[in-house]
Amino acid sequence: MTKKQVYNPYLPSYEYVPDGEPHVFGGRVYVYGSHDRFDGEMFCLNDYICYSADVKDLTQWKYEGVIFRKDQDPRNQNPTETEPIRKIYNVKSRFGNGLNPPGIHALWAPDVVKGLDGKYYLYYCLDFLPEIGVAVCDTPAGSYEFLGFVKHADGTILGRGENDLGQFDPGIFIDDDGEIYLYSGNAPMHKEHIGGKQGSQVMTLEKDMVTLKTEPRLLLPSIADSEGTSFVGHEFFEASSIRKIGSTYYFVYSSVLSHELCYAVSSRPDRDYIYGGTIIDIGDVGLEGRCAKDALNCLGNTHGGIEYINGQWYVFYHRQTNRTQFSRQGCAEKISIDADGHIRQVPVTSCGLNDGPLAGEGKYPAYICCRLTGKDGAVFSSQGDMEFRFPYLTQDIPDRDPDAEGVNTEEGLPVQYIANVGDGTVIGYKSFCFNGTKKITMLVRGCGKGTVTVSAEAEGKAAGTIRVDVDSDSWQEVSGEVNMPDGEQDLYFRYDGEGSFDFIAFSLEKVRV
């Protein structure tokens, strides 16, 4: 019997929880992130939810429910206020699945820390509003209550002062000596956007967790001031996250490339950081010299952090789906830290948190792919760039609340699949442990006629073929004999043919004697 396994993304396929910050509290790892709405037209439209897992069993993630609602913030209790994000993205003010009502701001990427008093403090921003909100709870994943805004010693709310920079993606960290550090800010991606109240910032807090003890000071360089530093080409953009490993501080952030998570290191938490490298890139850009034009997945932003869980370091990040920036899903990978403190870039995989490669038999969802490219490769995740020329991940059923009636029934549970598998599409999975796998069955629908070549390498020798000839809106099986090499191998499907089809699952079978 196959042991329990976990895939990427590690949460159910109907969950869109990007910007994941993992923290271990009391034998469990909790992931705090923003909460996208499937097929929404903005970032982070839903309330904050939380998932957790026993540090000794990352195959079972528990839904902890909603931990903080956007209407708990006082800035969301006056519906006559304008919504800056709507102006910036020039979208229509419609409601329903696509947008929040006017005046209701979105909860962007948060972070949580266990305070010196044993309570848990959640730090967050509302879309482009300049302040940092703080909520508090007695437990890691209970119902957080609004506490207040981070403020200067004179009571002025941070972000509203004349000389304050805008606050963005807060990260919170308490050092061994009890000093409380708050990190915040974003910076321009392009030189033509230099200017305004932006920048990577660090400050310290009093024990009340909201009052500034020391004023914000600039931390990591942006493209405005990186010349001559080690950060050139990977300057700070957003997504501050801090960890201490031994006596070294690791600052994880999203760079100006947006689709990578980088890190910087220092012997001090609030200054003197030097660039360390890329930890992960959602298109595997940078690995083996790969450029963005050769990305293995559609590109877009990513955001996350690292955490030590039961003897292993992991990086948490998110991927893009649904031909948009607004339906992102959390993923994770094992990472290693060399003796000299260096973190080597790791590839995106299908197994992620799993204890080793996936079993080379059984049924798997197609959406756990770690490569998804069309005939023309991969581009930015947007309808304008992708049109219907590229394959993409999506679902048929609208966004669902895990607590909603019927969501746990077969009819009510959304399942993600790969849509628009056309000529030249390559779908990759990393990795499996094969042992006598001789047959693969795909579950597909659509209108396509051609051949799927199965291999252990994207451009390698074929291990077998599957003939596809479908013309139906119903899911149906297509199978083929294969001869997968034994041992740990990747799995690739390449379609060459007419039309296109959707792909929801595949089965790996051994020869039965």
Our measurement of the distance from residue 3's CA atom to the centroid of its chain's CA atoms, rounded to an integer in Å, reads 26
CB 290 within 8 A of CB 305: no
- Among residues 15, 19, 284, 399, the one annotated as catalytic is 19
Map residue 271 onto helix, strand or coil.
coil
Residue 143: how many other CB atoms lie within 10 Å: 14
State yes or no: cis peptide before 431, omega within 30 of 0. yes
> Which residues are CB-contacts of 428 (< 8 A; sequence separation ≥ 6)?
296, 369, 370, 371, 372, 458, 490, 491, 492, 493
What is the β-pairing status of strands 358-359 and 426-434?
parallel
- Among residues 111, 238, 490, 502, the one annotated as catalytic is 238
**Which residue, among 308, 309, 306, has the nearest Cα to 317 in the 3D structure?**
306
Q: Note if 238 is an active site residue.
A: yes
**Which residue, among 142, 123, 140, 131, has the nearest Cα to 105 in the 3D structure?**
131
Which letter, b or e, does each residue of 165-202 get, where b requires 16 or more Cβ atoms within 10 Å of its Cβ?
A: bbbbbbbbbbeeeeebbbbbbbbbbeeeeeeeebbbbb
Q: Note if 227 is an active site residue.
A: no
CB 426 within 8 A of CB 493: yes
> Which residues are CB-contacts of 244 (< 8 A; sequence separation ≥ 6)?
173, 175, 176, 250, 269
CA geometry: angle 109, 23, 300, nearest 5 deg: 35
Which letter, b or e, does each residue of 366-388 get, where b requires 16 or more Cβ atoms within 10 Å of its Cβ?
A: bbbbbbbbbeebbbbbbeeebee
- Which pair of tokens denotes residue 157? 């709310």
Q: Got the DSSP string for 283-343?
A: T-TTGGG--GGG-SS-B-----EEEEETTEEEEEEEE--TTSSS--EEEEEEE-B-TTS-B
CB 161 within 8 A of CB 155: no
Active site residues: 19, 238
